[in-house]
Amino acid sequence: MDIKIGFSDSPRELVVSSRETQDEVVARVSEALANDAGLLTLTDENGNRYLVRNSRISYVEVGTSNTRTVGFSGA
């Protein structure tokens, strides 16, 4: 699932691909954003960790947890 984070002083987004479920990510983001002075910590599929200062976050877009199908099944 892709997580997009927009920042208040930058036109660019941070995109993190995570193996966590949508509910887990939403809970983590909600908990982190409750404290404006804290950090949002996310881990991507490769084990890289991202630390984002909450006061700079403008928005967070959490994608769906659907797995992508590969091939021509059902075609």
Task: Flag whether pLDDT at 74 surpasses 70.
Answer: no
**Res. 14 pLDDT band, cuts 50 70 90:** very high
Percent pLDDT > 70 in the chain is 87
Average confidence (pLDDT) over 61-74: 72
Model confidence pTM above 0.85: no
Query: What pLDDT score does 51 carry?
Result: 94
Decide if 57 contacts 8 (C-beta within 8 A). Answer: yes
Task: Flag whether pLDDT at 30 surpasses 60.
Answer: yes
Task: Flag whether pLDDT at 70 surpasses 80.
Answer: no
Beta bridge partners of 41: 51
Question: Is the sign of the CA dihedral 62, 19, 40, 34 positive or negative?
Answer: positive
Please list, residue by residue across 44-65, b when 16 or more beta carbons sit within 10 angstroms of its beta carbon and e when fewer do. eeeeeeeebeeeebeebebeee
Within 10 A of 40 (CB to CB), how many other CB atoms are there? Answer: 20
